[in-house]
Amino acid sequence: MKASNDLMNMAFASARHAAARQELISRNLANADTPRYRAQDLDDFTPDDASSFTPAATRPRHFLGAMQEGAFQPRFAGGAMAPNGNDVSIETEMVRGVDARRQHDAAMAIYRASLDILRTSLGRR
């Protein structure tokens, strides 16, 4: 079961990374016309990211609590600077958004498959 749990933790961390990245991409697009706004992005997900945060129970009966904020550190990732100091490229952000969606979908597929295997092993299919 340890390997399955590690795989599920990795899938969860990957989905969380994709969601955090999508949030940054949305913020970039919302500020596409804001003067001096600099686009941000996250580095690619690595297996080490799965252990970069720990669950925190906010109530005694919680199995998994809210995740720590700031587990992923954004970096500036803009391109060419516009005359108003903004470096957001709508085309680049759309490509990043598709990539984040692909990462999230893959993570959820792995998570669902792991749950199916776990249910089957418990005889609850």
CA 81, 82, 85, 86 dihedral sign is negative
Q: Which parts of the chain are beta strand (E)? A: 40-41, 55-56, 66-67, 75-76
Residue 48: phi and psi, rounded to 5, are -65, -25
Contact 102, 14 (CB under 8 A): no
4 token code pair: 């399955």
Residue 7: phi and psi, rounded to 5, are -65, -40
Q: Which residues pair with 55 in a beta bridge?
A: 67
Q: pTM for the whole thing?
A: 0.72
Contact 121, 24 (CB under 8 A): no
Contact 113, 119 (CB under 8 A): no
What pLDDT score does 64 carry?
45
Per-residue pLDDT of the chain (125 residues; tens, 9 = 90+): 455 578 888 898 999 999 999 999 999 999 999 999 999 999 888 877 565 545 555 666 555 433 444 567 788 876 788 888 898 999 999 999 999 999 999 999 998 998 888 888 888 76
Name residues whose C-beta falls within 8 Å of residue 66's C-beta, 6 or more positions apart in sequence. Answer: 55, 56, 58
What pLDDT score does 46 carry?
84
